[in-house]
Amino acid sequence: MPDRRLCERSLPSVRPVVTGVLATLACATALIAPPPLFAQAGVGTEGVGEVSFPNSGAPEAQAAFHRGLAQLHNFEYGSAAADFREAQEIDPGFAMAYWGEAMTYNHTVWMEQDRDAAHAALERLDPTREGRVAAAPTEREKAYLRAVETLYGDGDKQERDDSYTEVMRSLYEAYPDDHEAAAFYALSVLGTAHEGRDFTTYMRAAAVVEEVFDSHPRHPGAVHYLIHSYDDPIHAPLGLRAARAYSSIAPDAAHAQHMTSHIFVAMGMWDDVVRANETAVAVVDRARSARGGAALVCGHYPFWLEYGYLQQDRTDDARRILRGCLDAARSEAGARAGHGDLLDPDNTLRASYVQMRTRYILDSEAWDSEVLDWDVPMGEAWGDRLTYAFGTGFAATRRGDLEAARDALDTLLEARRGLEARLRTREDSGARYDTRAAILEQQLRAVILAEEGHPEDAIALVGEAVAAEESLPFIFGPPFVDKPSHELLGELLLASGRADEAREAFETALSRTPERATVQIGLTRATAHRR
């Protein structure tokens, strides 16, 4: 019988260029699942997945604990924390309920962590590390407590992430039939990709969690972490089975509904992208409505939904979503939401709107749309100002308004300087955001040059942007660089009559953004021009 850890041990030695289908198929022969000693369905997890975590908590606290555990795997962190606190109230000495709440403050794949909140949760169990570990009645539960203490222990975040992964490896090996240990170990491996997506690292995680999916096909963590592991155009077909399963496993978890679209975007399956994010928004809206709240109009799920509509050429639907987010961002609450130095567009209504506006302008190619006049107060929100200026300037060049394009370039340059100053104050380098800013500047300069009658200079400048974009790790989802550089290069080459080179650029762009509409149109035009 093959060693069931053969795949995980061997994958780090596999060259990145062959860590796709061949490596995964090679792993499949070694992934022989152990007898599922933890196979029973979890208590109280209807609608969010099936988990089972034997523990020493009071029977009355099990429903809340298991629901929290399932929602933790679904990345529904707020809901999970509330469930774990409910379990604590029922059984104040329930050590694993405090462990669970602390885990909700570490967002592994997003590289986010609220260390203070985690410590506060753990200290309600006992003020000392030794006391907290001692409060866990069994050796297995003590091992989980030691692991979370490592996660929030000494050292910088990268050091702690790496140490936590080693502790979770030991726990996984000590309890080979504990599918929760396997799932959390796989997730911890994903959390070691500190410099961005690393195929070897992600395939190591997949090799572990494939076992869980095989023996526990309704486990929310199994399908969720497989989707993350395979979330790129090369490996996405390997994640399609998990994506198809996840929506029915956790119908009440909005993130689960959305998460399936990661695979669908990577494969250009636009009908499925739209369906997944319409469902995710509906799940959120039901919960908000029950609390008397407003519908979801900005943020991650509406943005992906807008992108799917644009790829389907449903510009009216995309514009409707955009208008809803604009109204929210213009509201008093929206204007005050968040801080100007946050880089993630999901962190503020304003930032979400700016991201969605740029996506709409570029993908609808509505160069003179009234959307260009839909503005929001931005102050010193440098990242938002940069993105807004790029969309405005790019549209101006396409309609031949060079004065407006140059004004937008000036605004972009000011915003880039402000953004760079902000980045210097961050704990992490923010290098990918700095690179993106440089690319957007190069692209805007290039399209201005092309409009001024200097196509060769424009092509050369976009060539530099292509190299810079290729230096970035793969980032899932709608294009991180709003106008993908290979795509823009193809458009400039085609406009210059260099159809063969344009076709090559578009083919490369299509490999990076499968079935993207503007790329397919460009490729069709370049191919026709060659005849």
- pLDDT above 60: residue 239: yes
20 vs 364, residue with greater confidence? 364
Task: Say what the pLDDT of residue 474 is.
Answer: 86
Q: SS3 of 81, please?
A: helix
Task: Return d(Cα 207, Cα 5) in angstroms, integer.
Answer: 8
Confidence of residue 410 (pLDDT cuts 50, 70, 90): very high
Q: What is the pLDDT of residues 173-207, one digit of tens each?
A: 999 999 999 999 999 999 999 888 888 999 999 99
Q: What is the DSSP string of 198-259?
A: -HHHHHHHHHHHHHHHHH-TT-HHHHHHHHHHT-STTTHHHHHHHHHHHHHH-TT-HHHHHH
Q: Which residue has the tokens 């023996």?
A: 215
Residue-wise pLDDT tens digits, 22-81: 344 334 433 333 333 333 445 658 899 999 999 999 999 999 999 999 999 999 999 999
- pLDDT score for 145: 97
Say what the pLDDT of residue 42 is: 56
Q: Which of 114, 154, 147 has its CA nearest to residue 133?
A: 147
219/49 Cα distance (integer angstroms): 6
Count of positions (residues) in the chain: 531
Higher pLDDT, 224 or 16: 224
Instruction: Give start and end residues of each alpha helix (H) in 250-331.
Output: 254-267, 270-290, 300-311, 315-330
Question: Which residues, at least 6 apart from 248, have a Cβ–Cβ distance to it below 8 Å?
Answer: none
pLDDT digits (tens, 9 = 90+) for 317-333: 999 999 999 999 998 55
φ/ψ of 360, rounded to 5, equals: -65, -45
pLDDT-wise least confident of 13-17, 309-313, 323-327: 13-17
Query: Please, what is the average pLDDT of the chain?
Result: 89
Report the pLDDT value the prediction gives residue 176, as an integer from 0 to 100. Answer: 95
Task: Supply the pLDDT for residue 332.
Answer: 57
Of residues 133 and 475, more confidently modeled: 133
CATH code for the part of the protein at 35-268: 1.25.40.10
Token code pair at residue 22: 């061949």
E strand residue ranges, 88-142: 106-107, 112-113
pLDDT band at 429 (very low <50, low <70, confident <90, very high): low
Mean pLDDT of 379-406: 96
Cβ atoms of 351 and 344 closer than 8 Å: yes
Give the pLDDT mean for 291-308.
95
**What pLDDT score does 345 carry?**
77
Please provide residue 113's backbone torsions phi and psi, each rounded to the nearest 5 degrees. -155, 135
* pTM (2 d.p.): 0.89
Q: What proportion of the chain, given as a percentage, has pLDDT over 70?
A: 88
Proportion of the chain above pLDDT 90, given as a percent: 81
Contact 109, 74 (CB under 8 A): no
| Angle in degrees, CA 297, 300, 303, rounded to 5 | 65
Better-scored residue on pLDDT, 430 or 245: 245
Q: Where along the chain do the CATH 1.25.40.10 domains lie?
A: 35-268
Which token pair is 122?
């753990």
Tokens of 270: 């636009």
